[in-house]
Amino acid sequence: MSQFSSGLKLSGLDDYIQPSQACIKPEIIQSTNKRAKIDVRNDGTYIEYEDDGTGKILESAKISLTDCLACSGCITSAESVLITSQGVQEFLDNIKPERTVVVSISPQSRASIAARFKLTSLQTHKKLITLFKSLGVHYIFDTSFSRHFSLMESAAEFVARYRKTLDAPLPMLASACPGWVCYAEKTHGDFVLPYISSTKSPQQIMGTIVKNYFAKQLNITPDKIYHASVMPCYDKKLEASREDFYNDIYKTRDVDLVLTSGEILDIINQKNIDFKTLEESPLDKLFTNITDEGQLFGVSGGSGGYIEYIFRYAAKELFGVTVDKLEYKNVRGTDHQSLTLEVDGKPVLQFATAYGFKHIQNFVRNIKQKKQSPFHFIEVMACPSGCLNGGGQIKQQEGESSKELLKRVEDIYNEQILQNPEQDFRVKELYNLWFNGPFSADSKTHLHTQYHGREKLTNPLAIKW
């Protein structure tokens, strides 16, 4: 990937919508019956030829953060999209002495980097601390910590919907994937948005904690903190740019910049760092999931564990059933699986995963057609195989298949010790100090968000190619 200062080159994004899918915010083309002939020069320039043989150079598409879905509907390995202020150089330029710089690392990205360098997740996290602190970063946190808040809020929200104490429909759709949320906003508007959980993603909850609670602990204003996150997909850049996560008073975002796993590799290569031999620094314990024995812990599930945690929580809270072992059933392959809880021989809870837009479009179609869904909750992720297979993860090396790499990343991710959010005393402490408990009025203010239907323009791809 080439270096840049104010833009991001997206390449190889082939894990979302197929390239035949229309762009949600396309350029308007006056004629829809024209047969186009386009050649591509060796330098990547596109030439469109008229019927008389004359040709013109087509301008490169530039899509703003608020317009782009980053879904590969219009982005292929031969194209790039400029995304303002979300690149490696922008990150390096904003590490300044007068700012407190914070980096939050997702466990999925950590696993991807560990797989590249054949390290454990814990070794990788400690070496990333060494790397970032050598660049001038002050604090390095773990979004597994903020994910606990997201899981607990989502579970409480689901139970409220199920009991109808919250005026929101079922099935509740997970909200942690910004690619899915962006797709819903820009293609289905008010039909689908009420079904999406209002709970913020772990990235944005960490942003709330860092720019509000942590800033107060440091006795500084939010704008004095520069907060970057390391994530497995490009859509997290779009999520961080949402107006909902901008502080008008201090003119700052909860997450100022997002780097993908692949961009961390770019930094390592750019700085000529031998990552494998870097010293291992002590963990920042404040917002990092670390046991007393110094091991990392988290929850089961490479996409955040929403389906498993909420299923167990709802079974106990609603029906008094403790679920020890989960038995998944394939609905349509491993990307669309289901969980069912039966009481007295009747199904009372039915949950499902829907990874990849093929499965997403199926249940969205049912919602729009007002068909009764058999499911009460759906863990929705834009990427096939979920977040561990995100478009921003480090790609396979020569001689290795993408399937083999994904298996290694999954194995490394699953090395972590499993621990429920309720077992983390720091989560309880912060809930009591700041939010007054899960799904309280304060937590709804700080840990939840809203969605906005976007204008859908006329599809211009009626051109016959």
Nearest to 227 by CA among 302, 132, 162, 315: 132
CA–CA distance from 195 to each of 99, 192, 361 (Å)? 39, 6, 14
More confident residue, 47 or 66: 47
CA torsion 65→69→75→77, rounded to 10°?
Answer: 90
Mean pLDDT of 229-256: 94
Q: What is the pLDDT of residue 252?
A: 96
| pLDDT-based confidence at residue 60 (cuts at 50, 70, 90) | low
Mean pLDDT of 236-247: 92
**Domain 148-200+301-392 class?**
alpha beta
Query: What does pTM read for this prediction?
Result: 0.83
**Chain segment 329-373, per-residue pLDDT in tens:** 999 888 999 999 999 999 999 999 999 988 998 899 989 888 889
Instruction: Read off the amino acid at residue 16.
Output: Y
Q: ω into residue 171 within 30 of 0, thus cis?
A: yes
Q: Report, at the CATH architecture level, how domain 88-146+201-299+422-447 is classified.
A: 3-Layer(aba) Sandwich (3.40)
**Chain segment 444-465, per-residue pLDDT in tens:** 999 999 999 876 544 444 333 3
Three-state DSSP string of 73-110:
CCCCCCCCCCCCCCCHHHHHHCCCCCCEEEEEECHHHH
Q: What is the pLDDT of residue 14?
A: 38
**Chain segment 13-23, per-residue pLDDT in tens:** 333 333 333 44
Nearest to 75 by CA among 37, 25, 146: 25
Q: What is the pLDDT of residue 42?
A: 58
Q: What is the pLDDT of residue 32?
A: 46
Q: What is the pLDDT of residue 17?
A: 37
Q: What is the pLDDT of residue 57?
A: 78
**Chain segment 282-304, per-residue pLDDT in tens:** 999 899 999 988 999 999 999 99
| pLDDT-based confidence at residue 178 (cuts at 50, 70, 90) | very high
Q: What is the pLDDT of residue 461?
A: 41
Mean pLDDT of 244-260: 96
| pLDDT-based confidence at residue 79 (cuts at 50, 70, 90) | very low
Highest averaged pLDDT of the listed ranges 7-11, 35-39, 162-166, 420-424: 162-166
On the question of pLDDT at 86 being above 60, the answer is yes
Return the percentage of the chain with pLDDT > 70, whole number.
Answer: 82
Where in the chain do CATH 3.40.950.10 domains reside?
148-200+301-392
More confident residue, 149 or 292: 149
On the question of pLDDT at 137 being above 70, the answer is yes
| pLDDT-based confidence at residue 93 (cuts at 50, 70, 90) | very high
On the question of pLDDT at 47 being above 50, the answer is yes
Q: What is the pLDDT of residue 322?
A: 97
On the question of pLDDT at 167 being above 70, the answer is yes
Q: What is the pLDDT of residue 66?
A: 46
Number of other residues whose CB lies within 10 A of the CB of residue 167: 8
On the question of pLDDT at 169 being above 90, the answer is yes
φ, ψ dihedrals at 125, nearest 5°: -65, -40
On the question of pLDDT at 1 being above 60, the answer is no
On the question of pLDDT at 253 being above 70, the answer is yes
Q: What is the pLDDT of residue 211?
A: 97
| pLDDT-based confidence at residue 11 (cuts at 50, 70, 90) | very low
Mean pLDDT of 54-62: 68
Q: What is the pLDDT of residue 48?
A: 75
**Cβ-count burial of 258 within 10 angstroms (0-12 exposed, 13-18 middle, 19+ buried)?**
buried
Distance between CA 36 and CA 29 in Å, rounded? 12
More confident residue, 400 or 31: 400
